[in-house]
Amino acid sequence: MKKILIAEDEKPMAKALKLKLDNSGFEAQIASNGQEAIDMLSKEKFDLVLLDLVMPKVDGFTVLETLKTKKINVPVIITSNLSQEEDAAKAKSLGAKDYLIKSNTPIAEIVDHVKKILKV
């Protein structure tokens, strides 16, 4: 079973994503801030990360930079409400595979992106 880390500080969004991913055959876990995400990724292997950019303690950009520095190789999909082109470009330059605007992307569609990247 593929393990997904949801790094998301908005609890309703995180819970909805977890429920949808669990029901789609994944094992999803939640990190409620960037530091928690880094700690979890340092200890456990995940198949994919859904990463919010605006989070307490450590933001999503710093999480991406830390993954690079620690050579933690995991596909990352950014889920953010930052809709600026430069944010998407920066995230992709730091290794993000995909960039989804939460307010424009239904949860079912986020799960489709996860499946596409994991080829399941």
- For 54-66, how does the pLDDT look when each residue is reduced to its tens digit (9 = 90+)? 999 999 999 999 9
C-alpha to C-alpha distance for 40 and 38, rounded to whole angstroms: 6
**9, 53 Cβ separation under 8 angstroms:** no
Write down the number of H helices and E strands in the chain: 5, 5
The closest of 102, 96, 97, 109 to 60, measured between CA atoms, is: 96
Q: Could you confirm whether domain 3-118 is CATH 1.10.340.30? A: no
- For 18-48, how does the pLDDT look when each residue is reduced to its tens digit (9 = 90+)? 999 999 999 999 999 999 999 999 999 999 9
Q: Where are the domains of the chain?
A: 3-118
Element (H, E) at 50: strand 48-51
